[in-house]
Structure formats: C-alpha cells, structure tokens
Amino acid sequence: KVDNGPWVGYEYPEYQGQQFILEKGDYPCYQAWSGNSSYRTEHMLSFRPIKCANRSDSKITMYECEDMMRRKFEMCDDYPSLMAMGWCSKEVPSIKVNSGAWVGYQFPGY
C-alpha cells in the first residue's frame, strides 16, 4: 500500500532489475503493480521515493536518433501520446532530462 507520494519499486535489491512506478493506492498482488506490462515479477525487493519537482520547472528533450542527434522535441508538460503530438517514431532513441522528474510509459494513455 502506498499512502503518500510516488515510489519506484525494483525487482532486486540495490535498485536493480525491472522498475515499477507506484502511486497512491493498494497493490494486493503482482498484477496490481505490473498492469498491462508483459513483464511479470511476483516480488519487489528495493524501493525509493521519486523526488517530486516543481512541474513549472520541468523540462525534457527527446531526440530522433541515439547520441542526442538529429531532430529534437522539448517538453515541459505531460503528453498522453507522443504520436498525437507529432512524434513520428514508435521509439525515443535518446533523452536528456534538463530538469524535474519524469516517467516514461511504453503505451499511450499511461
């Protein structure tokens, strides 16, 4: 059960393995924290809080290619779908977090 703030749960000790974002709520079994992910684990063995940042100061830059190359797109707010905002690729090869704390999701709509 998460009472306050967002947390990251890790599959292994020392913050190793698959990561799961946990927000306020109950997580009675592994299906509750793995959601629609095809990756399943029945346990989490280390946790850390996500340091919340002032959203007005948050900024991230996504790049079209690896090594921060070619076309870039800067974001300062949440976007439920990268494709809907004009991102042409199904992947984001490289990212630079300029400020704030960000969470990326595999599928649109969180």
Instruction: State pLDDT tens for residues 29-80.
Output: 767 776 666 677 778 899 999 887 677 788 999 998 999 888 889 999 888 8
Percent of residues, the chain, with pLDDT higher than 70: 92
Mean pLDDT of the chain: 85
pLDDT of residue 41: 78
At 106 the pLDDT is 79
* pLDDT for res 71: 84
User: In what helix (H) or strand (E) does residue 25 lie, and over which residues does it extend?
Assistant: none
44 burial (CB, 10 Å; 0-12 / 13-18 / 19+) is buried
